[in-house]
Amino acid sequence: MDEKENKNTNKENNAQHHNHNKKKEFRRKRKPRLLIELNDFSKINDIKKPEHTKVKVAIYCNTCKRKHHLHFGEFKNGSVNAKNLQDIIDKYSWKYCNRDREPQIIKIYDANYIDNNKNITNFINILKNIKGSKIVTITTSNYSQAFDINKDFQFIDIASEHLFYKILKEGILKGTGIIIRQFLDIKTKKIINNKEIWIPKKKLYGFFLYLNNIFPTPKEDLEIACNTDAETGLPLEPENDVIYAEINFNYNNHETNTIWN
C-alpha cells in the first residue's frame, strides 16, 4: 500500500513538474506583436486583441502632431466615455506627449512669450551663431537637463524642444546656469581601455540667466568650475580635448562678440 502511494505521489510530482516546465517554456516564448493603426473613431469597437498576442494601437495626436502607440489595455481604458480619438490620447498625454516626464510641457510652452522676450531671443541667436552640433546643459536649483542640438538647430524631438524653452522661460527669471559644449571638426586622440580612439575637440561656453538678464561666464571662471569637484571642492584632472571660450554680450546693441583663447 505504501509502495503504491509512493508511486502515485511520484507520478503526480512528475506531472506537476512537467506542466510547470511547459508553462515556463511558454512564458519564455516571445509573444507575437501586432500594431493596429486607428484613424476612424467609429471603428473602436472593431479593435480586438488576438489571444497570446501583444497588441498596440496607433492613434494620431493633434497636440504633439505624431502617432502614439498605446498598449491595448490603455486603449480600452481610454475608450471609455471617449467622444473622439483625441479623448483617448488625452488620458495618456502625460506619458506619451512628454517622454521626459515633465507634465504639461506642450501647454506651458508659449511661442509668443519667447518671441516677445528680447533677451531670450538674443540668447537663442547666440546659440544659433555657435556653429555645428552642440550639447546645452541647463542647471536650475531643482534639476539639471542636457539637450542635444544638431548643426541645423534641431532637437531630438518636439518634447525636448518644448522642455528646453520651458526651462529657459523660467530660468531667465528665477536663475539658471548654462554650459554649451560645441563639437568642433578637429579631432584628438584618446586612449580608453588600451584602445586608441579619435574624438571631436570641444569648445565650452558658460552663461548665467537671472532676472531677465544674460551674464556670460568668463572663460577663466568656466575652466575653474568645470575642473572642480562640486562636492569636495578639490581640483579635477583637466580635460585635454576642451577649449574654454567666452562670448561678450552687448546689452545696448544686442550684439555678440566671440572671444577665443
> Are 88 and 128 contained in the same domain?
no
Residue 16: how many other CB atoms lie within 10 Å = 10
> Are 152 and 216 contained in the same domain?
yes
> Are 90 and 118 contained in the same domain?
no
Whether 239 is in a domain gets the answer yes
Low-confidence ranges of the chain (pLDDT < 50): 1, 24-28, 99-113, 251-261
- Domain end point (choices 74, 96, 118): 96
User: DSSP of 79-104, one letter per residue?
Assistant: HTT-SSHHHHHHTTHHHHT-TT--TT
> Are 121 and 85 contained in the same domain?
no
Q: What is the pLDDT of residue 198?
A: 85
> Are 141 and 254 contained in the same domain?
yes
Q: What is the DSSP letter of 142?
A: S
pTM equals 0.54
Whether 199 is in a domain gets the answer yes
Whether 13 is in a domain gets the answer no
> What does DSSP say about strands 144-149 and 134-139: parallel, antiparallel, or unpaired?
antiparallel
> Are 160 and 224 contained in the same domain?
yes
| Domain total in the chain | 2
Integer Cα distance of 160 and 51 in angstroms: 37
Three cell numbers written together for 50: 488576438
Integer Cα distance of 26 and 61 in angstroms: 36
Three cell numbers written together for 2: 505504501
> Are 77 and 158 contained in the same domain?
no
- Reference 72, options 86, 94, 88, 61; nearest CA is 88
Integer Cα distance of 49 and 36 in angstroms: 10
Whether 18 is in a domain gets the answer no
CA angle 191-193-194, nearest 5°?
A: 60
pLDDT digits (tens, 9 = 90+) for 38-79: 889 988 888 888 777 788 888 988 887 888 888 888 888 889
Three cell numbers written together for 245: 571660450
CA angle 191-138-131, nearest 5°?
A: 65
> Are 88 and 112 contained in the same domain?
no
Whether 1 is in a domain gets the answer no
> Are 202 and 250 contained in the same domain?
yes
Asked whether the beta carbons of 219 and 259 are under 8 A apart, the reply is yes
Q: What is the pLDDT of residue 4?
A: 52
Q: Which residue has the cell 532637437?
A: 155
Torsion of the alpha carbons at 233, 236, 238 and 239, rounded to the nearest 10:
-110
Whether 4 is in a domain gets the answer no
- Domain end point (choices 96, 114, 149): 96
Whether 28 is in a domain gets the answer no
Residue 172: how many other CB atoms lie within 10 Å = 19
> In the predicted model, what is the mean pLDDT of the chain?
77
- Reference 161, options 129, 131, 208, 124; nearest CA is 124
Q: Which residue has the cell 488620458?
A: 91
**Domain that includes residue 45, residue range:** 33-96
Q: What is the pLDDT of residue 192?
A: 77
> Are 40 and 158 contained in the same domain?
no
Question: Which helix or strand (DSSP H or E) is residue 140 part of?
Answer: none
pLDDT digits (tens, 9 = 90+) for 181-213: 999 988 888 777 888 888 889 999 999 888 888
> Are 82 and 112 contained in the same domain?
no
Radius of gyration of the chain (CA): 28
> Are 191 and 252 contained in the same domain?
yes
Whether 52 is in a domain gets the answer yes
